[in-house]
Amino acid sequence: MGTKVEQTKEPIRVAVTGAAGNIGYALLWRIASGDCFGHNQPLILQLLEIPPGMQRLDGVIMELKDSAFPLVHDVIGTDDPELAFKGAEAIFLVGSRPRTKDMDRSDLVAANGPIFVGQGKAIDAVSSRDVKVITVGNPCNTNALIASANAPGISSRQFTAMTRLDQNRAVGLMAEKAGVPASKVQDVFIWGNHANTMYPDPRFGVVDGNIATEVFENDWLQGDFLETVATRGKAVIMARGASSAASAASAAVDHMRDWWLGSNGRIVSMALPSEGWYGVPEGLVFSFPCRCEGGEIIVIGDLPIDEFAQSKIEENVAALLEERNAVNDLL
Ligand code: NAX
């Protein structure tokens, strides 16, 4: 006999795109087990794939059902975005075309942009007006911008992109270097784009009760540490022969859980449309230091910026403006 779950709440509809992909395979089990929305929150999973992925999706749904999760009331698999997003209160936009060897970043932007036009329109048409959207599929900042621009009926504050994996990588590295568990590292966060320009800011970080910039040498923080976080995705591909999947899924759960249930006062990284914070042009989907409370994301808008942080913010603004220009016709 399993543990009895008290289920007094109504089920919420949670949509995941690219559900038969690698990240989907790790993500669905974490969501279904209650790690994301709480262990007393029943769920209806609405899974989207493209037609070539539908057979794999059937297999994933069989396995989900075979896992007999007490919280899962139904699982729907479809290749129709309007069915997948219908009534959804939380959406994970994971599906997109992966970057291949011959593609540079602008090719990736061009290949994936149109997907997020259609999905933005479908979200606008059928999802809950309070839907919380996390974009994982790359280039995730600009894809979130495209989806939001095509969903005028939903506040742009409801569209975010994921830089939590970069934050978790930074936390993991600091913990390893200091010889402490990851739980002892807090308030390290990411500025900018989910790309190798992003900046893991250590200045407000706390490591086992001490200020991170006093625990680690500046040379390491602005050198190896930054470089390792920025290139970690590539290193995982080299080692594993496949891109980060379980860690990406775990970061997506962290992002959505904190948004849904609160970040308990901790600083977390979330990319969202700028309202001019830190001089970042309005509308650019940019990762900022945030706190989450009562289902809202609050950008911490008054942290002091030094010369190095300023130069990194500007570098990311330039990169994201270039991405935005490349997709202007989709906005
Ligand atoms: P996979 O190629 O394993 O899976 C992607 C799935 O999406 C496939 O099953 C495919 O059929 C489906 N798909 C493609 N177009 C779709 C559409 N229009 N609608 C619905 N489904 C569609 O990739 P996976 O490893 O799961 O990675 C997914 C995305 O996450 C990629 O774009 C990847 O670059 C991105 N990542 C983002 C990260 C981040 O930190 N933001 C880190 C991990 C990952 O690299």
CATH of the domain at 61: 3.40.50.720
21 found inside a domain? yes
Distance 159 CA to ligand 1 centre (A): 18
Mean pLDDT of the chain: 95
Write down the pLDDT at residue 100: 72
Query: Residue whose CA is closest, atom 30 of ligand 1?
Result: 137
Last residue of a domain, one of 161, 177, 212: 161
Buried b (16+ CB within 10 A) or exposed e, 253-282: bbbbbbbbeebeeebbbbbbbbeebbebee
78 in contact with ligand 1, CB cutoff 6 A: no
Write down the pLDDT at residue 8: 78
Write down the pLDDT at residue 109: 84
Enclosing H/E stretch for 92: strand 90-93
On whether both 157 and 168 belong to a single domain, the answer is: no
Closest CA to 266 of 202, 203, 204: 204
Supply the range of the domain harboring residue 206: 164-330
On whether both 182 and 80 belong to a single domain, the answer is: no
Write down the pLDDT at residue 98: 72
**Residue-wise pLDDT tens digits, 45-83:** 999 999 999 999 999 999 999 999 999 999 999 999 999
On whether both 187 and 322 belong to a single domain, the answer is: yes
C-alpha dihedral, 183 to 246 to 97 to 169, nearest 10°: 30
Number of domains in the chain: 2
Of all atoms in ligand 1, which is nearest to the CA of residue 56? Answer: 9
Low-confidence ranges of the chain (pLDDT < 70): 1-7, 101
On whether both 96 and 169 belong to a single domain, the answer is: no
Distance 90 CA to ligand 1 centre (A): 18
On whether both 172 and 311 belong to a single domain, the answer is: yes
Give yes or no for a cis peptide into 139 (omega within 30° of 0): yes
Write down the pLDDT at residue 321: 96
